[in-house]
Structure 1
């Protein structure tokens, strides 16, 4: 499944560039822009996909997606997020800013993508070691998008924050769906009921 391949590719990028991650982690700085171009490059040169583009318009619903590419005449679109948490993590500045807006942004991206070959990928960070609080957010995303998402869509990656401290990053990728079809089917069913 393409979303699994994208998830593995993101994990590979973050593992290979673990030297740069502490700069983002210590201040909980989002790194979506950097990761977007690294991922596009890996999709094109590493995975050998065709027609790789960044910030492309989706003809289906006229929204922009972060990355698009094709494989065997199928066009895939990726929405990418890096979402920071407010969980206390050694070596990382404290923050009281909640993560609810970040989670809602992931949900909104899944709905905005609105296509069967859309892939939503996100990195949730920092996560303290031995902390599974992230599971409730995966459940929330799954419920609010009406897309089956579970731990099999996720990878925990342990990384260095500094010389003394480590944390986890959660990488999660899942297939979007076409919400328009559901609305159209509801309209058709309502017509038959009359």
Structure 2
């Protein structure tokens, strides 16, 4: 901090450099996925071969000798001794995973299905519902009131029009 250097500062990239770095990372990730899938496939194939072929007496004798004296067996190049390989194979056999893990790595996350929204328990048609009692009683009240009160012709025309609009076809009062 005293000399003002940016040793601990993160790297800064231009947009083009960032895109290149991103492409490199994605390429490495794809290669890793394919490598892991190939290794899992090979491991399953080897496991299936071990399961299906019967062990001969020679193989049993060699395995017994390998567990007793691992130094006596010749090592070829960089290969591990057979007893270590068998221990690792036994450990793999215990933790053998299904294909679903491999498929989960390959597949992209699927889009979630949208839930259907229910607007209610069922659709109700207004034509099938009879008009409420309050509407009928209010119409009766208007008719009685109209007969009782003397009004000018303008008000009576508007009252008739209001009565016609309320009781006209296609409204709640209509009984089809």
Tell me which interval the TM-score lies in, with the shorter structure as reference length: under 0.3
Report 1 or 2 for greater relative contact order, CA contacts < 8 Å, sequence distance ≥ 6. Answer: 1
Q: TM-score, normalised by structure 2?
A: 0.18
Q: Which has the larger radius of gyration?
A: 2
Give the structure with the higher percent strand: 1
Q: TM-score, normalised by structure 1?
A: 0.17
